[in-house]
Structure 1
């Protein structure tokens, strides 16, 4: 059977009633459910729709992730947790690589000016990342259309104060544990000072995905 606009609207409203309010997830589900209904040639729309909803029942069931502080349909919670875990792991990996690189350079070249140059560079990119996140927050918040990626970006922007704190400490020299020949203190300094920057980078990537979905489905 070929679905009408009113029938598709009914699917949309049914998903919203189950708290599937994010456009990327909702549109994917509408597409799947509509395709399943259209394959049910011998059933009425109501019968096929009920059958399809039954199939997706487990993913539409309300659940929560205590560790990540989110409650909602399982399909949304699972996607949120997957993205959160991906960002955390990616940030850790990037921080590890960056810290090893910077520790190696500053141990090989222990002159104070080398450290100062890198510190100034890190301060600059922190400032740029903060400006980028604040600007992006405004545009994500301004758009009425919601996606899981946009929600995650806004929710995770609570980490922004850590970036401001890192800028403050780098500018004022309050975070100075660099000692010539000390591998551990050198490594730890670069690790702590770079971790929140890499989280910011991945958060901006999330926002970019949000805008890509908005453009793809013409949701402006």
Structure 2
């Protein structure tokens, strides 16, 4: 049994009231809830208000407000926090894999001078990655100024865009450690920074992609 436009808008407004403010997450959840309500109405022959109440009660735990990662005063519905958490886990795994790869290559090199050359190359790659990220991020930021669409990707992009300036001291510091312990830490840190910069562009482009899909579906 297909829901009417008014019933779908009722679900939409309820989701907004429960703190689901990101358009991509809201559309995803709305689709799931609408499907559940349609199936339940068709199976039980109950009317919309009764099924609507029942389904939202089943989803209550997903709407519970929970504290955001790395924050003491920002709260999201559990659904949003889970989505942010999944993105963070992917980046953490990628950082670990890249760190292990670069550290393995670094350990294989025996000559101290070659080790220093390897570190110089890695840092140079990071420098150009940072510059590229800043350039692309500025373009995305300007494009977002005209956008009224919100998404979990845009939230992540805006947060990381503001953080990028913090890494200026690392990027433009020409010093390379000469003791082995600090060199290993240096390689691990660079791996994490590299993944962070790439992720800035990734989430920014994902928001633009979502915005384009939304525009096409609404036209």
TM-score by length of structure 1 reads: 0.81
1:160 paired residue number: 164
Question: How many residues align structurally?
Answer: 213
Could you tell which deviates more after superposition, 107-116 or 186-195?
A: 107-116
Which residue of the partner structure matches residue 216 of structure 1?
213
* Unmatched 5+ stretches in structure 1: none
* Paired position in structure 1 for 2:197: 200
CA distance 1:137–1:184, change in 2 (3 Å)? same
Match of 2:53 among 46, 50, 55: 50
Q: Is the 8 A contact 1:149 1:206 kept in 2?
A: yes
Mapping of 1:163-178 within 5 angstroms?
163-169=167-173, 173=174, 175-178=175-178
Q: CA 1:116–1:7 in 2, change beyond 3 Å: closer, same or farther?
A: closer
RMSD: 2.7
> In 2, Cα distance between the equivalents of 1:46 and 1:55?
14
User: Partners of 1:6 and 1:15 in 2: how far apart?
Assistant: 14
SS in 1 for 2:172: helix
Flag the 1:141–1:96 CA change in 2: closer, same or farther, 3 A. farther
Please identify, of 88-97 and 198-207, the stretch whose mean Cα deviation from structure 2 is larger.
88-97
Aligned counterpart, 1:30: 30
1:103, distance to aligned residue in structure 2 (A): 5.6
**Unpaired runs of at least 5, structure 2:** none
Q: Once structures 1 and 2 are overlaid, which stretch shifts more, 135-144 or 108-117? A: 108-117
State the Cα deviation string for residues 51-110 of structure 1 (Å, max 9, x = none).
111111111122223535541211111111221232233223323323433564584763
SS of equivalent residue, structure 2 residue 114: coil
Which position in structure 1 is the counterpart of 2:188? 191
Equivalent-residue separation in structure 1 for 2:97 and 2:115 (angstroms): 28
Q: 1:56 to 1:139 in 2, by over 3 A?
A: same
- Deviations, residues 111-157 of structure 1 (Å, cap 9, x unaligned): 97666555444322221122222332333454211111221221233
Change (3 A) 1:142 1:100: farther
